[in-house]
């Protein structure tokens, strides 16, 4: 046992092996992007390349800086000092920040691949260790002084036959069996199952985009069930409000969603859909462009997600079913990196 140079690993806390060290932000890399722990999955966000040389190691993200160049591994775990006494953990291009990305593995139990991950920046900072702030999925990771807790003990689990980046085309990033339908992760409105005194019911999320020219992608493999041309809306009540839209039916949703079938809804698209009911789509296929059609006050995608055993959502079933009649779920449960930002 023990870690090896040049291999790829998940890095999981000893006290919760169901989560793993993860780059925040859906298979995207950039300077000082934060690092957290998140539900363990087979995605590039959570796969780390161990690079050992000159007496120390670097833990390099397997997300490529340039799509298609999976061998670059340009970014590495890094320490960033702010006003606090500890350093936050982020990623940075290691070639430009060699000192801040040096680490040392201190063995706890090599037979189980358990280690402390020590900052090796310089002598003054060698008392700082990689630390999960809690065992909850989504918790922040920082560099902190040694303690006796299990939140500083990490297990390295080798990814066999990793072969580089496990992300999907377009930089969307897989999340189980599905991908995010947009690049942008900011919301202008979130999900509300019921109206409140101040806000209306909203059976989906509005993903904002300042520019009505960015792609919309199929959430998962499925079959188109319904399309609408905003210039010729369906005759149903308030159908015009959806603008150009597409509904897709899916089978076997991901494990964190309960039900035999799913339907996804994409509204306010820029142009009339070129897809037709009955047409098959694959996860990550570009199905449209973010727009501002129908009842809309700015470029955005309204994304609806419905999961359950309703046979009207089975792949191959064509036609519109009122969203009020389907088992709606909050998409944030499936797409946790989206966040509301009304600025």
Mean predicted confidence (pLDDT) in 14-21: 86
> Do 151 and 228 reside in the same domain of the chain?
no
The predicted-structure confidence for 99-115, as pLDDT tens digits, reads as follows 778 888 999 988 888 99
> Do 74 and 222 reside in the same domain of the chain?
no
Q: Is residue 160 part of a domain?
A: yes
Q: Measuring CA to CA, how many Å separate 230 from each of 210, 238, 243, 276, 296?
A: 21, 12, 5, 15, 12
Residue keyed to tokens 């991901």: 254
> Do 192 and 330 reside in the same domain of the chain?
yes
Greater confidence (237 vs 253) lies with 237
Indicate whether 172 pLDDT > 50: no
Tell me which residue of 326, 319, 329, 327 sits closest to 228, measured CA to CA. Answer: 319
> So what's the pLDDT on residue 333?
66
Domain boundary among 128, 143, 167: 167
Percentage, residues of the chain above pLDDT 70:
78
Domain of 36, CATH number, reads 2.80.10.50
Q: Is residue 3 part of a domain?
A: no
Q: Is residue 309 part of a domain?
A: yes
Indicate whether 6 pLDDT > 80: yes
> Do 97 and 19 reside in the same domain of the chain?
yes
Indicate whether 227 pLDDT > 80: yes
Phi–psi pair at 305, nearest 5 degrees: -135, 130
> Do 219 and 150 reside in the same domain of the chain?
no
Q: How crowded is residue 282: how many other Cβ atoms within 10 Å of its Cβ?
A: 10
CA quadruple 39, 41, 57, 5: dihedral sign: positive
Indicate whether 169 pLDDT > 50: no
List the Cα angle 161/167/168 in 5-degree steps: 120
Residue 245 contacts residue 259 (beta carbons within 8 Å): no
> So what's the pLDDT on residue 96?
59
Mean predicted confidence (pLDDT) in 43-66: 84
Q: Which residues pair with 229 in a beta bridge?
A: 232
What secondary structure letter does DSSP report for 100?
G
The predicted-structure confidence for 121-159, as pLDDT tens digits, reads as follows 655 556 788 999 888 888 889 888 888 788 999 999 987
Report residue 88 as tokens.
């936050």
Greater confidence (260 vs 292) lies with 292
In the chain, the number of structural domains is 2
What secondary structure letter does DSSP report for 241?
G
Greater confidence (146 vs 333) lies with 146
Q: Is residue 282 part of a domain?
A: yes
Q: Is residue 245 part of a domain?
A: yes
Q: Are strands 178-179 and 244-251 parallel, antiparallel or unpaired?
A: unpaired
Mean predicted confidence (pLDDT) in 39-63: 85
Q: Which of 64-68, 212-216, 317-321 bottoms out in mean pLDDT, i.e. has the lowest?
A: 64-68
Indicate whether 330 pLDDT > 90: no
CA 264 to chain centre: 17
> So what's the pLDDT on residue 40?
85
Q: 86-90, 242-246, 295-299: which has the highest mean pLDDT?
A: 242-246
Report residue 322 as tokens.
């009122």
Encode 162-187: b = buried (16+ Cβ within 10 Å), e = exposed: bebbbbbebbbbbbbbbbbbbbbbbb
Greater confidence (82 vs 251) lies with 251
In sequence order, what are the residues at sequence separation of 6 or more whose Cβ sits closer than 8 angstroms to the Cβ of residue 254? 175, 176, 177, 178, 220, 334
Greater confidence (276 vs 72) lies with 276
> Do 190 and 334 reside in the same domain of the chain?
yes
Q: Is residue 1 part of a domain?
A: no
> Do 195 and 329 reside in the same domain of the chain?
yes
Identify the band that residue 343 occupies on the pLDDT scale cut at 50, 70 and 90.
very low
Q: Which of 4-13, 50-59, 232-241, 333-342 bottoms out in mean pLDDT, i.e. has the lowest?
A: 333-342
* Domain membership of residue 333 as a residue range: 175-340
Domain boundary among 167, 188, 223: 167
> So what's the pLDDT on residue 165?
29
Report residue 4 as tokens.
């090896």
Q: Report how far residue 248's alpha carbon sits from residue 217's, in angstroms, rounded to the nearest whole number.
A: 11
Q: Is 102 helix (H, G, I), strand (E, B) or coil?
A: coil
Domain boundary among 132, 167, 202: 167
Residue 80 contacts residue 87 (beta carbons within 8 Å): yes
Q: Is residue 2 part of a domain?
A: no
Residue 200 contacts residue 190 (beta carbons within 8 Å): no
Q: Is residue 106 part of a domain?
A: yes
> So what's the pLDDT on residue 258?
60
| Mean pLDDT, all residues of the chain | 79
> Do 187 and 121 reside in the same domain of the chain?
no
Identify the band that residue 45 occupies on the pLDDT scale cut at 50, 70 and 90.
confident
Greater confidence (10 vs 172) lies with 10
> Do 92 and 131 reside in the same domain of the chain?
yes
Domain of 297, CATH number, reads 2.70.70.10
Indicate whether 244 pLDDT > 80: yes
What secondary structure letter does DSSP report for 167?
P
> Do 232 and 300 reside in the same domain of the chain?
yes
Greater confidence (73 vs 222) lies with 222
> Do 157 and 70 reside in the same domain of the chain?
yes
> Do 118 and 241 reside in the same domain of the chain?
no
Mean predicted confidence (pLDDT) in 68-72: 53
Q: Report how far residue 18's alpha carbon sits from residue 66's, in angstroms, rounded to the nearest whole number.
A: 30
CA 330 to chain centre: 16
């Amino acid at each position: 046992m023990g870690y090896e140079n040049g291999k790829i690993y998940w890095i999981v806390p000893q006290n919760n092996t169901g989560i793993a060290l993860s780059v925040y932000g859906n298979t995207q890399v950039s300077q000082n992007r934060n690092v957290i722990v998140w539900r363990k999955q087979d995605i590039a966000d959570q796969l780390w390349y161990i690079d050992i040389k000159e007496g120390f190691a670097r833990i390099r993200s397997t997300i490529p800086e340039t799509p298609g160049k999976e061998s670059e591994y340009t970014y590495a775990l890094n320490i960033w000092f702010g006003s606090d006494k500890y350093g936050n953990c982020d990623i940075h291009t290691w070639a430009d920040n060699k000192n801040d990305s040096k680490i040392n593995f201190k063995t706890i139990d090599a037979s189980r691949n358990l280690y402390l991950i020590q900052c090796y920046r310089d002598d003054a900072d060698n008392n700082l260790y990689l630390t999960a702030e809690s065992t909850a999925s989504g918790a922040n990771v920082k560099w902190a002084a040694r303690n006796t807790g299990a939140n500083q003990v990490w297990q390295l689990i080798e990814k066999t036959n990793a072969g580089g980046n496990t992300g999907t085309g377009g930089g969307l990033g897989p999340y189980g069996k599905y991908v995010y339908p947009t690049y942008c992760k900011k919301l202008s409105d979130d999900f509300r199952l019921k109206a409140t005194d101040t806000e209306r019911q909203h059976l989906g999320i509005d993903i904002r985009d300042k520019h009505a020219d960015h792609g919309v992608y199929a959430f998962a493999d499925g079959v188109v069930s319904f399309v609408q041309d905003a210039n010729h809306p369906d005759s149903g009540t308030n159908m015009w409000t959806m603008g150009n839209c597409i509904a897709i039916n899916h089978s076997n949703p991901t494990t964190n969603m309960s039900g035999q079938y799913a339907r996804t809804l994409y509204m306010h698209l820029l142009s009339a859909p070129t897809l037709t009911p009955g047409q098959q789509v694959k996860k990550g296929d570009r199905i449209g462009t973010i727009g501002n059609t129908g009842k809309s006050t700015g470029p955005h995608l309204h994304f609806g997600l419905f999961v359950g055993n309703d046979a009207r959502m089975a792949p191959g079933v064509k036609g519109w079913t009122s969203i009020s009649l389907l088992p709606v779920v909050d998409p944030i449960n499936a797409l946790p990196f989206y966040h509301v930002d009304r600025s």
